[in-house]
Amino acid sequence: MSYLINFDTRKLPVVDCEYLILGSGIAGLYAALKASRAGGEVTLLTKHTMIDTNTDKAQGGIAAALGDSDSPDLHREDTLMAGAGLCDRDAVKALVTEGPDRVRELIEMGAVFDCDECGLALTREGAHSRRRILHASGDATGAEIQRVLTQSVRSDKRIRVLENHYAIDLLVKGNICYGAIAFDQQEGRTIVFRSKATVLATGGLGRLFEYNTNPEVATGDGVALAFRAGAEIMDIEFIQFHPTVLALPGAPRFLISEAVRGEGAYLRNGSGARFMPRFHKLAELAPRDIVVRAILEEMAVTGSGEIYLDLTHLEPAVVRSRFPNITRTCADHGLDITASLIPVAPAAHYMMGGVKTNLHGETNIEGLFACGEVACAGVHGANRLASNSLLDGLVFGGRIVDRARRYLENCSGARPEFSCDWLLEPEKVDFFAIRRELETTMSRKVGPVRNAKGLTEALEFFERWSYLGSHQVETVDRMEVMNMLQVGELIAEAALMRTESRGGHFRIDYPEPRRRWQKHIILRK
């Protein structure tokens, strides 16, 4: 395998642990709690602080079949439909049947979801046939879940949390993972974390794209770590672009939750005309990939770069109560969403693919597990159903521990040493400039609309910097860029291979799905 830095584990401080969990979003935190409750000792590393996660930023909600008119079977059919023929049916079954109990468990832990006179206030989002989305404080669902799980983890004596610890590389020998090396950003030192079971819960990769909804930490580190270690990467070409992200000049990109359309908002073109009914029978509630392409086509046909979200026909008091965070953020930039149209545009949002796992989070490397957005068990297929991501983290984060406990019972407890001394001295290049060019390249060549020419040009960009893989990098920001180069190349490579359009992957040179491509692309070093 390859590494980012030269090191010798015999000369570095060592921390021994039973479970090593990388990441502090919903998947990592729930896996940590489940492991602790099973009697395990857990060390959890997080890149920045515990709340620097996609989970904390999630607005819309968490999907679960809890309504009287709903069922896991209906939830399963909606998930399969959105997944465009690539969902693993067993993975979807696990998600929708186990999901309701995981959500009830969150409530028992203290999560406060919005209620109405009938009980839990359930809303509807794109491609859902029922109102099954639970939300908290209107549009701050993720923050509430993050609060409850973070509080529970911090109060658990079996879980040690180390913030500002950046995972550099996994330690793998003989196809067995023995932990990871990480950089303590506060102390400025590299540490060896030797573990019996290592869990990747590092989140997504939205920051590879110029316009995205993700926090600063989402640079695809987990996929890069796993790939360098020899893990299989599946469906990485499928990137979900959220259709409605605030596009105000001078304002940062900000997600306008799909729940806004679920509550009745319309999409309008630059002339003020509603257009989604022409593209899909579900109109504004069509699957996300369809809405994104409809927006882009409408922009091209009308010759206008303007698309708007319209809530002005909805009751102002209801809008402010249901979406307080969105209302406040837009108001900070001089926009009253109850009286004015919201300018929106698509932006990178979620990775459907990732580190290939089975239904218990196991990868092709012994002792290495993955869950949450970094993992790919096939549950989302080619296009994730709205609000299934938080549920995914809970269900499969918990399933990992069930299998890891068995693995630990038969674990040999070996602790081999590792070293790397072949990397060249650091190259004097402008990593900041490389990152900016990477983000632009990904957005323009590997964005929501792709073709062979653009993808080939993207791969040429990555090839230009491939020689850096033989050089050591010394700072976290440079390690991030190296990981982004690795993952961006994987996305472009898989996207060029898949000569069809399906879900979150759209090729203008191959605009239709093809039956022979109803299969997965798996990449391995």
CA atoms within 13 A on the CB side of 515: 0
**131 in catalytic set:** no
* Residue 173: other Cβ atoms inside 10 A: 13
416, amino acid identity:
P
Per the structure block, which two tokens stand in for 444?
């323009």
Which one from 253, 261, 268, 288 is the annotated catalytic residue? 288
Per the structure block, which two tokens stand in for 152?
């529970």
- What kind and span of H or E run contains 119? strand 119-120
CA angle 320, 321, 327 (to 5 degrees): 30
Q: DSSP H helical segments within 88-140, as ranges? A: 89-109
User: How far, CA to CA in Å, does 297 sit from each of 293, 306, 450, 509?
Assistant: 6, 12, 14, 15
Beta pairing partners, 189? 184
Find how far residue 124's CA is from the centre of its chain.
21
First-to-last C-alpha distance (Å) of the chain: 8
Give the whole-angstrom CA distance, residue 245 versus residue 342.
9
Which is nearest to 26 in space by CA: 375, 299, 513?
375
Which is nearest to 407 in space by CA: 196, 159, 158, 239?
196
Residues catalogued as catalytic: 288
